[in-house]
Structure 1
């Protein structure tokens, strides 16, 4: 993407970083708003560099995901507590929550200690740690703190599209699937993959381009307004290979089976 076009994308979508930073900072104490904003801005620039419009995903949605993950990583880096302290704080908090639900009131330190089989001093330390620290965002019970930027109805549409695209990637032929995941999900370069696979740079680029075309065909066929069978495929694969791809995609989820099979028959 030309530098000018990339910069324009960044400028037009800076509000994503601002809104996400404000959302997180308003809900968590002991975090640096400046550090969050810097991490989010860097992620936005990287998103503009990696963005591929041919995948059919709006840049706003693509960038929003990158910014959210960047803020999560930044929050993890701010977590001062060693793992054993995080575990103690999380376990103590969980027991307190369980007892609160069972008793209908906040349990005493002695009650928590008795339930955990530890002394009251350990409980007090665990509760104090929980108050001071940011619990790991990887914890199963951790709250979702990152702003999505969607209205409820927009979130539903975006979630369905993301789910469909994930299934479409999963249904790709093995090598094409590996290349798409590596480049777009793991930020690996074409050169890295060429060295790993023992093939030329051009070979990986061709596989990537064809995989993108197949994904585009899947998205176009599923979301097309035109009558079934009237959407011309962009893929250069044979009709039988494309039909096999659509069938794999259909078998990946009942919500999409009828639409994709119908399109595959018309392919």
Structure 2
């Protein structure tokens, strides 16, 4: 199955860019208008996983700044499609804004840390992925309360993985690792992109099958949580919980690997 939901644009690189001539104001404006739907798509995809207080319009505004930055810095001699480069700059600008806002309450981050520790302790002891029941029991929660906690912390688990910083834009076919951006406070900054790719690939391969499929469909096929639910036969909420669990497992596995 291969469904591509992101907006499809003709590659306008040859139309707009020339190694010999700078872009005219008219061409710059035309390029901005051409890629505005891409900005809205990326913003909506991020906003769908964030609290209501994060403004979609603010994300779009940041995306426009990212697009202008891409136009200013794009080098046609690098043999990279402008759309690929623009996506990187647009998403990076939005993530930088989210990072600057520091919109996650300390109480939620504390719960996220507690969840991550529970997964790490159980998986170290058992030598296999922790079950929902085991994590709930470790945290002293009823199973329903555990699922509520996953819902409450989903934005943090999602954005922490999104903050794996893309180190290279010189590729026409970004991997999963290259769609992530990195928080400077994160220990992942200590390793290079090729190591990140290998670590993430290994960590994903160890996920429970349904969580692995959820991650693949969300990040590689770019399906929404609702669409993944339709494919797998689960509610959108259940898919969101699977995604959150996968993110906790990935962070646990990556931190463990980096600590060794």
For this structure pair, what is the TM-score category when the shorter chain's length is used for normalisation? 0.3 to 0.5
Structure exhibiting the larger radius of gyration computed from Cα positions: 1
Question: So what's the TM-score if we normalise by structure 2?
Answer: 0.42
Which has more helix, going by share of residues?
A: 1
Question: So what's the TM-score if we normalise by structure 1?
Answer: 0.41
